[in-house]
């Protein structure tokens, strides 16, 4: 895969998700993971994990969304930046909000506000204060909710007065709080200001929310006919952008009002619309359930593909690093030994130059198969990149690793690969290291020692093992 192909694939993921084609989105996210791993493009890997988390959230697979977010965090902490951390917080809030875990939602929002201010991402900070406001409204703490809304509004005035959407969101929250506190005069001023502004027509969802609030304003003052009209205005808008849950919320209010107004004719019409909506909901829920089942059936193979080297079928660099780091962490806590064997094909460039890259690929595949043939069940084996392979042995000491390396060395020496009517011999050089003598706690540390020893094996004439430099 080329960089250009990967960039196009990333855009395809966004387009598919926007179109609601979630199964295809998931599949292409894993393709992005694979491409990112092949090209060592950590930005693509980080984005793929975040896009997976978003997609799983949209279809209600919250467990899978949390897992993808955990993978996103693991990669961005090593290869990302503070903006990736901020994106992680924003996604985490949605997941906690979905589960109605309000206390953890607050913690995440505190982190979002703190980091957003440091990065001067004031739009995100304002959104976080708006979300904080909604959390307090759910808890019935309108004083705190108003405090958060006003903080968001002050940041808007100071830093992003050009962002009309953020301004509308904050003011809608404030109007909602005023209505809940029966402050009808102040809330009316805000609602009228938003509805009569030219900019509201650019933000369809917010316009619908404004009419919903206007309906609440009339409802709490027993002006049922006017409330019904406002909710109907909101309904007409929502139907255009297909927000199912919001539409259901509005239709329930309209049904209730028909009963309170004793309007049987209108009530029958609205009830019919509501029943149609519920039937559609059942269909959507079944479709979502089927989609989740379909994705869950294929996710193992997709993950395997993302963790597998495309040429040899063994594990790739990303999976080796990730798994070895987990092993080393446990080994450090339990004082266990882990051995890393680094293998490099000697004079591989010459093989490519003399026989062509297709033959070079065949050499890589046969060396991979030969190494795989003598592995223990628990050994981790993969292609690190190019003509380099790594074996990680859990619960083994340096002596075990050295014996394994000698077996591999002899096996490859005996390997003869046919090229037309010629027989081509291959040799390898090997560096061996363990976590005990190197005091390694991370893959890069134990790998670096093995790599230095591999370098010395090359300098000493190749076709040999080094374990002591």
pLDDT digits (tens, 9 = 90+) for 11-48: 999 998 888 788 888 888 988 988 888 788 999 999 99
Mean pLDDT of 215-224: 95
Q: What is the pLDDT of residues 157-205, one digit of tens each?
A: 787 777 888 888 889 989 999 998 899 999 999 999 999 988 888 888 8
Say yes or no to pLDDT of 93 above 90: yes
Q: How does 50-76 read in b/e, with b if 16+ C-beta sit within 10 Å? A: bbbbbbbbebebbebbbbbbebbbebb
Say yes or no to pLDDT of 461 above 80: yes
- Coil, strand, or helix at residue 259? helix
Q: Tell me, what's the pLDDT at 279?
A: 77
pLDDT band at residue 7 using 50, 70 and 90 as cut-offs: very high
Interior angle at CA 272, CA 269 and CA 277, nearest 5:
130
Q: Give the chain's radius of gyration (CA, Å).
A: 30
Q: Tell me, what's the pLDDT at 302?
A: 64
Say yes or no to pLDDT of 284 above 80: no
Identical fold between 3-221 and 317-466: no
> Is there a contact between 26 and 302 (Cβ–Cβ < 8 Å)?
yes
Say yes or no to pLDDT of 63 above 90: no
Q: What is the pLDDT of residues 387-435, one digit of tens each?
A: 999 999 999 999 999 999 999 999 999 888 988 878 889 999 999 999 9
> Is there a contact between 425 and 415 (Cβ–Cβ < 8 Å)?
yes
- Concatenated DSSP letters of 194-239: HHT-GGGGG-HHHHHHHHHHHHHHHHTTT-HHHHHHHHHHHHHHHH
Say yes or no to pLDDT of 285 above 80: no
CB under 8 Å, gap of 24 or more: what pairs does 4-7 form? Answer: 5/35, 6/32, 6/35, 6/36, 6/39, 6/41, 6/44
Say yes or no to pLDDT of 366 above 90: yes
Q: Tell me, what's the pLDDT at 144?
A: 93
Q: Tell me, what's the pLDDT at 287?
A: 64
Q: Tell me, what's the pLDDT at 221?
A: 94
> Is there a contact between 3 and 32 (Cβ–Cβ < 8 Å)?
no
Q: Where are the alpha helices (DSSP H) in 160-202?
A: 164-180, 184-195
Kindly report the backbone phi and psi dihedral angles of residue 342, in degrees, each rounded to the nearest multiple of 5, phi listed first.
Answer: -105, 125
Stated pTM of the model: 0.66
- Coil, strand, or helix at residue 182? coil
Residue 380 β-bridge partners: 392
pLDDT band at residue 239 using 50, 70 and 90 as cut-offs: confident
pLDDT band at residue 88 using 50, 70 and 90 as cut-offs: very high
Q: Tell me, what's the pLDDT at 290?
A: 67
Q: Between residues 252 and 37, which one has the greater pLDDT?
A: 252
Please state, in angstroms and rounded to a whole number, the distance separating the CA atoms of residues 382 and 319. Answer: 8
Percent of the chain with pLDDT over 90: 56
Say yes or no to pLDDT of 282 above 80: no
pLDDT band at residue 292 using 50, 70 and 90 as cut-offs: low
Statement: 317-466 belongs to CATH 3.20.20.70:
no
What the block records as the tokens of 339 is: 């051995």
The secondary structure element, H or E, covering residue 295 is helix 264-306
pLDDT band at residue 293 using 50, 70 and 90 as cut-offs: low
Beta-carbon neighbour count of residue 419 at 10 Å? 15
Q: Tell me, what's the pLDDT at 300?
A: 64
Say yes or no to pLDDT of 227 above 70: yes
The secondary structure element, H or E, covering residue 340 is strand 338-345
Name the least confident of 226-230, 296-300, 448-452: 296-300
**Domain spanning 3-221, CATH class:** mainly alpha
pLDDT band at residue 83 using 50, 70 and 90 as cut-offs: very high
Say yes or no to pLDDT of 59 above 90: no
pLDDT band at residue 301 using 50, 70 and 90 as cut-offs: low
What the block records as the tokens of 51 is: 């896009």
State the sign of the Cα–Cα–Cα–Cα dihedral 4, 5, 9, 15: positive
Residue ranges per domain, the chain? Answer: 3-221, 222-306, 317-466
Mean of the per-residue pLDDT values for the chain? Answer: 89
């Amino acid at each position: 895969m080329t960089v250009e192909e990967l960039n196009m694939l990333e855009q395809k993921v966004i387009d598919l998700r926007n179109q609601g084609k979630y199964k295809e989105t998931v599949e292409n996210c894993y393709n992005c993971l694979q491409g990112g791993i092949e090209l060592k493009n950590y930005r693509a890997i980080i984005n793929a994990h975040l896009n997976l988390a978003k997609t799983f959230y949209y279809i209600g697979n919250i467990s899978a969304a949390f897992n993808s977010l955990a993978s996103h965090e693991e990669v961005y902490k090593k290869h990302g930046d503070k903006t990736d951390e901020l994106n992680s917080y924003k996604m985490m809030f949605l997941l906690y909000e979905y589960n109605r875990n309000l206390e953890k939602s607050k913690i995440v929002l505190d982190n979002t506000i703190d980091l957003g201010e440091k990065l001067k991402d004031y739009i995100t900070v304002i959104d976080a204060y708006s979300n904080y406001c909604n959390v307090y409204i759910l808890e019935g703490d309108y004083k705190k909710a108003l405090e958060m809304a006003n903080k968001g509004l002050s940041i808007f005035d100071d830093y992003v007065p050009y962002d009309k959407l953020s301004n509308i969101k904050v003011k809608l929250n404030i109007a909602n709080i005023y209505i809940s506190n029966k402050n009808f005069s102040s809330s009316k001023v805000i609602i009228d200001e938003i509805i009569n502004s030219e900019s509201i027509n650019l933000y369809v969802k917010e316009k619908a929310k404004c009419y919903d609030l206007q309906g609440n304003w009339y409802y709490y003052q027993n002006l049922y006919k006017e409330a019904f009209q406002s909710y109907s205005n909101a309904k007409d808008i929502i139907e255009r952008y297909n927000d199912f849950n919001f539409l259901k919320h509005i239709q329930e209010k309209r049904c209730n009002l028909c009963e309170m107004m004793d309007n049987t004719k209108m009530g029958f019409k609205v009830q019919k619309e509501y029943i149609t909506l519920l039937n559609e909901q059942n269909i959507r829920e079944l479709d979502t359930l089927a989609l989740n089942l379909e994705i869950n059936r294929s996710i193992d193979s997709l993950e395997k593909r993302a963790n597998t080297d495309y040429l040899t079928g063994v594990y790739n660099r990303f999976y080796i690093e990730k798994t070895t780091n987990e092993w080393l962490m446990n080994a450090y806590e339990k004082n266990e030994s882990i051995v890393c064997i680094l293998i490099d094909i000697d004079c591989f460039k010459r093989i490519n130059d003399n026989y062509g890259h297709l033959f070079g690929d065949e050499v890589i595949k046969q060396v991979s198969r030969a190494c795989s043939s003598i592995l223990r069940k628990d050994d981790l084996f993969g292609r690190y990149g190019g003509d380099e392979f790594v074996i990680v042995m859990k619960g083994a000491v340096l002596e075990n690793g050295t014996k394994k390396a000698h077996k591999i060395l002899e096996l490859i020496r005996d390997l003869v690969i046919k090229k037309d009517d010629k027989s081509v011999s291959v040799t390898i050089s090997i560096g061996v290291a363990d976590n005990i003598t190197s005091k390694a706690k991370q893959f890069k540390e134990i790998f670096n020692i093995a790599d230095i020893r591999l370098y010395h094996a090359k300098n000493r004439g190749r076709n040999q093992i080094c374990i002591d430099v």
